[in-house]
Structure 1
Amino acid sequence: MSDLPAFLLRHTVTVEALTGEGPYGPEYDDATTVRCFVDDKRRLVRDATGGQVVSETTVYMPLSTTCPVGSRVTVNGRTTTVLVSARRDGGGLPTPDHLEVALQ
């Protein structure tokens, strides 16, 4: 398998990918709409610094999506920040390759 099957991509989110820091704070790319699967479930995750934080939502997106840590994501009318972004690439194995994103 190469990507998540289309029938699983039941939701849409708006992603503003973090591009870096500017003189006035974080800078973001233009907003893009992404088809995905949203799992609203509270869980503990480790952030970029290794600390435990609570994630309210996990979003499963196509692997080609650009959504690094710190990006803004609007899901279900709520704008939040990416805590963890993990590429799940099976390297040619028959797995559904995707990007798993834990949101604040």
Structure 2
Amino acid sequence: MVTRVPEVLLRHRVRIEPHLGESAYGPRFGPAVEVTALVDASPRVARAPDGRELIRAATFIAAPDISCPPGSRITLPDGRSTTAITVTQHTAPGLPVPACTEVVCE
């Protein structure tokens, strides 16, 4: 039974700087972590958590245990820097489908 997305499908490297919150000087970020992912860099319309519609720069899937809260800084494989707007954990306990994390970037 498949419990997580197979590593062989994650063909790209993405750098994540997890959003830790706001300070008096602006957003705070944790140390950068590089993860393997499968990136779809085609622009599409997405809805932000506050309801705004915006054009997403990319979406990627990665292992189910990555730390990437909304607001995290993302560096895509082509070097572009973007921000995570929604992060979704996909699981299906008991079913033969892989668990993963999907991140939609602004």
TM-score range normalised by the length of the shorter chain: over 0.9
Moved over 2 A (4+): none
- In the comparison of the two structures, how many residue pairs are matched? 104
- Gaps of at least 5 residues in structure 1 are none
The residue number in structure 2 matching 1:72 is 73
Partner of residue 92, structure 1:
94
Deviation at 1:18, TM superposition (A): 0.3
Greater shift, 58-67 or 84-93, is seen at 84-93
| Aligned amino acid, residue 23 of structure 1 | A
SS at match of 2:102: strand
Distance in 2 (CA, whole Å) between partners of 1:94 and 1:62 is 16
Structure 2: runs of 5 or more not aligned:
none
Measure, in 2, the Cα distance between the counterparts of 1:91 and 1:54.
Answer: 32
**Which residue is 1:81 aligned to?**
83
CA RMSD of aligned residues (A): 1.0
**TM-score normalised by length of structure 2:** 0.93
TM-score (norm 1): 0.94
Using the alignment, how far apart are the partners of 1:92 and 1:36 within structure 2?
A: 24
Match of 1:5 in 2: 6
Give the CA deviation at 1:83.
1.4
Query: Counterpart of 1:52?
Result: 53
Q: Give 1:48 deviation, angstroms.
A: 1.1
Indicate the percent of aligned positions where both proteins have the same amino acid: 35
CA contact (8 A) 2:16 2:33 kept: yes
* Equivalent residue number for residue 34 of structure 1: 35
